Structure formats: C-alpha cells, structure tokens
Amino acid sequence: MIGNEFLPITAKECEERGWDRPDFVYVTGDAYVDHPSFGVAIISRVLEAEGFRVAILSQPDYKSAEDFKRFGRPRLGFLVTSGNIDSMVAHYTVSLKKRNYDYYSAGGKMGARPDRALIVYCNRIREAYGDVPIIIGGLEASLRRFAHYDYWDNKVRRSILVDSRADILSYGMGEKSITRIAKLLDKGVPIKKIRDVRGTVYLTSREDAIHYPFIEGEDYDTLKTDKTAYARSFGVQYRNQDAISGKALVEYYDNKMLVQNPPMPPLEREELDKVYDLPYTRAWHPSYKEAGGVPAITEVEFSITHNRGCFGACNFCALAFHQGRAVRSRSEESVVKEAEIIAAMPGFKGYIHDVGGPTANFRYPACEKQVKYGVCPDKRCLAPKPCRNLQVDHSEYARLLKKVAAVKGVKKVFVRSGIRFDYLVYDKDETFFKQLVADHVSGQLKVAPEHVCQGVLGYMGKPPVEVYDRFKKRYFELTKSIGKEQYLVPYLMSSHPGSTIQDAVELALYLKRSGYSPEQVQDYYPTPGTVSTCMYYTGLDPLTMKKVHVTVDYEEKRLQRALLQYNRPENRELVCKALKAAGREDLIGFGKDCLVRPLSSSRSFAERSPRGQDQRGKGAVKEGRRQGASPAHRSKQSQGNPSKGKKTR
C-alpha cells in the first residue's frame, strides 16, 4: 500500500467519511484489489474522480439478500460484476471439473462467489430492493450480452441482461459509458429512460424507437435451435464492434427487444493517462491479510499496462468482442510516472515484471485508415499475411522501455505479457528485436504460435508456421550473438475447431523435429464471445459460413492432447491409439522418425532409439520448457489474466 485510501467496504467506513449513504454500491465476485489491472478498481476510481460516492461489496454472502443490504439502498443504484473473469471459467476446467484454486479470492480459496455470479447477485439485489437501478458490466456481462452458446450448459442461453433482470449492461471498457449513466441518474433521469448511451445494452418494448441506425437480428427462439442462424447472427455482431463503423444491433425475446447501442469510442491517450493517474492503493484490501492476500496481484503488482485493444484478432480470443481491435496507448510520461510509483513501493526489488497489455508490442492502430474509417470488418491486419496498409514501428515502444529502465531504483524491465512475433519479424528495423533479446527477456520469452498446420492456423486467425520459424531462428541467433542462454515458451493448443487427429500428428512431428517437449498444453476452451466458440457450437465459420471440422468427443480431445506430449510414459497408450486412428501406424516403433514404441515392448524408447537419448534432452536447452500458466490464465478473456493488464485474454 502506498498511502492512498481504499474505498469503504462497510457501513461504518461510510459513516467515517461523513456519508449518509453511497451513491453506488459496487458488487463484485472478486476479492477487492485496488490495482489498475482490476476492472473494479478502475471503474470505482473513475466514478470517485467524478465526485460520486462508491462503496465496495466484495464477494457478498449470496445465499440470502441480507449482505446486499450492508450499506442500505444506494442513492443512484448498484453496479454489478462477476469479477475479472467469467465466473464459470473461474470455477471449471475445460473438462468441466471443479477447480481447486481461485486466483481472485483471498488465499486462493474456492467458493467465495457463486456460479453465474451476475445472475445470482442481481436476483438478490432485486429481492432486497425491488426496482433499484442495476447496471451490470465486466467480462461476464460483456461477452454474454447477446444470446450465446454456453459450454457448461451445452446450449444457447439468453442474453445475461435478460436472465439477470438488470436495467442496463455496460460492455467493453466501461469508463465513458458508466460515467455517462451515473451523470444522467444524478440529474434525475429514470434508469428506464437511459437509452442512448453508447457501449450499453438495454431491453425494451418491440415498439420503442431506437436512437441509432440498427441491424435487425433474430428471435431468441430461432437462435437457440438454428445453428446456421446463430452463426450468421454472430458474424453480424463481430462486424459491428467498431466505434466508427458499428451499428446498433437488435435481438428479440418474446415481446421484448434487446438493443445493443454502437460501441463507445476508446479512450484516447490523454484520457488513458488520467485513468492510470488515479489514486490506487495498488494492493489487496487489508482485511485479507490473515488469509494471505489475493494471489492474482502477484503477476501485476510490479507490472505496467501501457496499451489497450489488439488488432491481432485471434479467433479464440475475446478481446475483439470486449476491448476491441482499435489499439490505444498511454503516453511515455504516464508510464514512466507509474514506474516511479512502483519503484517507491515497499517490497519492490528493482524489477518491473512487465510493460505490456493485450499485446505488448502494439502502441498505435494498425494503419491510418483505422483512425478514420474503423477496423476492416472482414480483414485481419496480420494473418494470413500482413495487410499492405499495416504500419510496423517499434521505435516508441523501444524508447519507452529504456525510459522505464532509467527510473531510479529500477534494475531491469521485462516484457512478460506476450508479444506478436509476426509483427516483430515484419519490422525491417531490428533495433527493438535486438533490444528485447538483450535487455527485456527474463530467461524465457512467451510467444503463441498455437499450432503448425495451415488449415488450423487459418481457423485460429494466426500466421503460417513459417513466420514463427523465421522469428525463432532469428531469436536464437540474436541470443547467441550476445552470449546468453534464453528460451522460448511457445503456447500450443489442441482440439481447436479445424484441428483433426492428423493435424495433431503433424504438430507432434514438428515438436519432435524441434526437440521441444511442452510441459503443458491447452485444450481449446469454448468461452463466450469468440469466433472459435461459434465454430465449436455450429460447425460453421461465422465470418465465411463455411463448414468447419469440430472436435467435441471427449476421447478425441484426449488423443489430440496426448499427441502434443507424445513422449510422456503415461501417454503411451493414448498416443498409439491416436496414431492408429490417424492411419499413421508407421510412427509406432523404434525408428528415428517414430513418436512412440509399440505397446508390446517393455524396453524404454530411449534404450532402443537410434539417438540413444531422452527425447527431452537438447530441446529443453534450446527452446525452453513451457512454464505453468494456469488454464484460467489461458482462457484469452479480456480481463482474465491480470498479467495482461486489463483485463477487462
């Protein structure tokens, strides 16, 4: 803690501030962490700066309505979020097993929030106060704002605004929209009359007028049963998430109409600077001391978020639907000022763990056209090849890192939130690449090739593997040239839509040729609000409406995953089964190209291998073994990983 005050979490603390009641009670499914990597901290501080009184109701007892009466009825209303990530992702693995650790709760203890937290919280508030205004926001609200496929129920659920019975849903990065709503409420405008705020969703009568040009959508009864209609509808939604070109969108529920107003324009540099200059304590609330604090702050306590948005547009990532593809960044002065604050904090050892964001090496929109016309609705900036209008420039980011490194008390500045390796290799000026390798890699650099087969990479929205190979080759050349031993940590994904058993075999062979043995791989996790999830549910690419192979069978998923870790003894039987299913029994044996020995053999593969060595050997030295990112932190949700500085993958 650096001397600032936390917002009140009890009625007594409100009284000590001289408040008769708060303007807003902010209900969150996370423990209260007042750090700018947490959405609750940002929104509450933004409202405070506008003169509003905000009390924090963190992880309330949801089994009755009593805890929701802690502060009495707020003057203007309740703000509700499930926290930094979707509550279902927080609670369940991709195999639908209960997690045993919660990064966003004190001591990592599970059970502090309910499943589908937004719905539960809002229903308790209605039970306590009836028609009090309720505004929902955060990742769970943002990504579930339309009818959406829900992996955990395996069906299409209604918009979370309908199920929660809230009044307004604020989607995306909500500083502007929530401030606008708050000011209108403060002027006495009834919540049911607030219908023109960008970046919001509301439910109204079918006969009501809509304030913006709009695209008429489907009825929920159609969307929940017709996969083609669902895919087509998602494609329309995806193409209208830009603040410049996006139109209002409509869905129908019985006699009601769900309206998404066009997106709110992103915060520009001066506005972002103001947000990050607010008086955060940069710590978890002292009430969690006995439990050992809140684990999620570990990765971000000494890290800095310098940008928002991502024009990378990976299909499995929720950023395009939440933060958006329009990149904005903070000024160098603002980032340096935060570095000075961090350097003065107790416990700082001289290392800035990250100067990053959704993608660390983006500072500006991809091209000048995006500033005037918005992002292209049907084109990607980087994949399958770079757009001819793409402006590749790392000079400001390189300068920024040097300025942060020059702050008194800072020994080293690392880049750990991930970079776009394709954007890096497209830069003809290698100044930043050399600086990155020499000064900003903490032993290993995280990158995300995800796969190697062109068909799969196409469905992922990733560049060809040749681009990754080019980056990898140059990375190790530069590392060797300065006499260092540094690793790459490539993220890999199994069972993504478009991936077959044969594709998984090709990835395994690539890993064998590279001498790389991943310690952990990620099964594709269909989370709300992504193109890939739409593919998974419908078997259609919503951007082309072409059919996509989808792996939904649990056994096939196990086989694909096992192939990526083919040399683990516990995977031997599964790998043999997978190779037989793929028609690649030639890879079962003792030849140099084989992936696994026959099940009938009792001798080890290393003993019979012509190489006579453990297949993990040189690979671990050359490229490094993948370190343990938790499945929750690979969900790619916008505020899912605090190390990515939003968030709110």
User: For the residues 256-283, what does the mean pLDDT come to?
Assistant: 97
pLDDT in tens, 70-83: 999 999 999 999 99
Task: Using pLDDT thresholds of 50, 70 and 90, give the confidence band for residue 642.
Answer: very low
Please give the CATH architecture assigned to the domain spanning 11-202: 3-Layer(aba) Sandwich (3.40)
Phi, psi of 150 (to 5 degrees): -115, 110
pLDDT in tens, 167-210: 999 999 999 999 999 999 999 999 999 999 999 999 999 999 99
pTM, to two decimals:
0.91
Averaged pLDDT of the chain:
92
Task: Using pLDDT thresholds of 50, 70 and 90, give the confidence band for residue 565.
Answer: very high
What helix, strand, coil percent values describe the chain, rounded to 5? 35, 15, 50
**Tokens read off for 426:** 């497209």
pLDDT in tens, 521-556: 899 999 999 999 999 999 999 999 999 999 999 999
pLDDT value at position 418?
A: 81
Q: Which residues, 6+ apart, have CB-to-CB distance to 30 below 8 Å?
A: 38, 40, 58, 59, 83, 84, 104, 105, 113, 294, 296
Asked whether the beta carbons of 259 and 250 are under 8 A apart, the reply is: yes
Mean pLDDT check: name the lowest of 108-117, 256-265, 346-355, 636-645: 636-645
Kindly state the percentage of the chain with pLDDT values over 70.
Answer: 92
pLDDT in tens, 457-477: 999 999 999 999 999 999 999
Helix and strand numbers (H, E) in the chain are 23, 22
Most confident range (mean pLDDT) of 59-73, 509-523, 606-620 is 59-73
Which segments within 184-243 are labelled E, that is strand?
Answer: 200-205, 214-219
Strand-pair category, 200-205 with 134-136: unpaired
Which of 113, 145, 98, 40 lies closest to 642 in space, CA to CA? 40
pLDDT value at position 224?
A: 97
- Ranges of each domain in the chain: 11-202, 299-508+630-644
CA distance 332 to 344: 19
Which segments within 82-154 are labelled E, that is strand?
Answer: 134-136, 148-150
User: For the residues 407-428, what does the mean pLDDT come to?
Assistant: 95
Supply the DSSP symbol for 286: G
